[in-house]
Structure formats: structure tokens, C-alpha cells
Amino acid sequence: MSILPHHKYPSNPLNHVRSCQFHTRVVCLATTTKPRPNPERLMVEPRSVTPPPLVTPTRPPLLDDPSLQSTWSHRAWVASGCTTVLISLAKSIWVAADSQIWFEPILAGLVGYILADLGSGVYHWGIDNYGDESTPIFGPQIEAFQGHHKWPWTITRRQFANNLHALARAVTFSVLPLDIACNDPVIHGFVGVCSGCIMFSQQFHSWAHGTKSKLPPLVVALQDLGVLVSRSEHAMHHRQPYNNNYCIVSGVWNEFLDEKKVFEVLEMVLFFKLGVRPRSWSEPGSEWTEETEAQSQFG
């Protein structure tokens, strides 16, 4: 490449800058013709897209952190959620006893229990992979769940109402209208069990992070029987590649959802339709690497 000035340098350097023209010769050292692509390599690589940022806090909460403590507002919401669920279950039992129809309400309750596990998995997958703390309505839970991957032990330090109040509030607004307007034992059998399992799913989640020796024997027995999600099963969710075992009520759906790659299919659909990339496609970084309680508190 050569650069040749058209005029001599003038006495004034600024005038030289204005008046100087340049002729540039560019030599191409390689052909611009692209080779024909290999048809077998023609595939979309969605992982190359920049992933959404994680929203984990920079430091873990301390054991006496106010964010882990229950407030009177939390307790009030949990009380209202439990009340609406108990009213629904009581109505189901009362009307079933009066009409001597037991099979349908019991079956409806069983269906509610099974679907609550599926619902917990779908919800858990969604807030793990999409959105951030600024997302309307779900922002605080998204931030909490993503921070949970960094410091999973903190869920065992949350007080009961602190852990359940967000779901209890949603259950209150959803179930209360049915308690007032409906007397069908089958509907209440389904709604009472399903909503109760959803509301307490965060407590089941907390128990799944607990130490066997510190859990109530009844909880350990229910975990071993598969009635509640087990500690070993949920532990897989906190290991690479962090994209499985999302269900946290009983975990009965986890094997099916993971083997059939249901969530992976949903991720591809959302990516190709909306251009949104889930966090599970990213290579796990420090944000997803679990820190133990000892490291966090004393490191």
C-alpha cells in the first residue's frame, strides 16, 4: 500500500490538513469468493447469541440478614393462603360426605397433586432461564431463584413465611373467588390439593436442600417414598448442565420431562419465534457455581 500527497506541504499545518488529498492503493491478498458450504454443516448455532445476564447478587445474605426473616406481612399472606386452601378442602369433604360421592373428589385431588408438580417444574424452568429483576410481577422471584444457584443453602435459612408468602398471595387471589362461588366437591378436591401443593412447593424445595439428620423423620420418609421431591433428585438440578430436575413438589415429572427433552424443545421454539435465548444454553460460569455455606460465611 502506498500513500502519496498530491501537493507539497504548505507553511500552515492546518491548511495542509484541509487541502491534502490522498491516493490509496489497496491490494487484495486473498480471494473474496467464499467456498461452498458443506450441507452437513448447515445448522443454526443459537448458542452463539449473547445470553441474558444473570442477576445474582454479589454477596450472599448473612444468617441474620433481614431478607431471610419473616415479616408480619409475610405471615398474613401465608395465613390467608392456608385459610383459602383449607376452606376449599373442607367444602370438598363436606359436600362429598353429604352426597356420598367420594371417588371423584379423591381422584380430582390426586390429579391436582400430579399437576402441581408439573406446574412447579414449568414455573421453575421459566424463572431460571428468562427475565431479570426488572421483569414485572415476577422480578423478585427471578432474582431470588437465580441467586439460589449460587448459594442454595440460603433457602434452608429462610423463615417459613418468608419462603412461602409470594405463592401464598397468588393462591389467595386465585382460590378465594372459588371458595365463595363454587360448591362442587370435585372442583374443590382438585383446587384444594393443587393450590396447597403449589403454595408449599417452596417448603418442599427447602427440605430438598436439608440435611437428613436435621429433617423431621416424617419428611424424610415422604422423600424416600417419592411423595415429596427427594434430596438426591433435586441435587442434580444444582450440577452441570443446570437444565434438568426442575419439578419441586414430588419430582414425579422430572424423568419424563428430561428424557423427552420437553424444556429443550420449548427453548428452541421460543428462540426461533421470539429470538430469546435461555440461560441454560450458556456455559456455566461463576454465577452458577455453588458456594458452600462455610465459604460464604467465613471465606
Question: Does 5 map to a domain?
Answer: no
CA distance 273 to 160: 40
Question: Does 58 map to a domain?
Answer: no
- Rounded to the nearest 10°, the torsion over CA 35, 39, 44, 45 is -60
DSSP structural state of residue 43: -
Question: Does 196 map to a domain?
Answer: yes
Domain of 200 in residue numbering reads as 70-297
**Any idea which residue has 414455573 for its cell?**
123
- Looking at the chain, the whole-number percentage of residues with pLDDT higher than 70 is 72
Average pLDDT over the chain reads 80
pTM attached to this predicted model:
0.74
The count of domains in the chain is 1
- Looking at the chain, the whole-number percentage of residues with pLDDT higher than 90 is 57
Task: Express each pLDDT in 47-95 by its tens digit.
Answer: 444 444 444 454 555 556 777 899 999 999 999 999 999 999 999 999 9
Question: Does 35 map to a domain?
Answer: no
pLDDT band of 14, cuts 50, 70, 90:
very low
Question: Does 87 map to a domain?
Answer: yes
Question: Does 276 map to a domain?
Answer: yes
Task: Express each pLDDT in 145-155 by its tens digit.
Answer: 766 777 777 88
Q: Tally DSSP H helices, then E strands, for the chain.
A: 11, 2
Residues 81 and 201 sit within 8 Å (Cβ to Cβ): no
Cell of 82: 392456608
Question: Does 92 map to a domain?
Answer: yes
Question: Does 3 map to a domain?
Answer: no
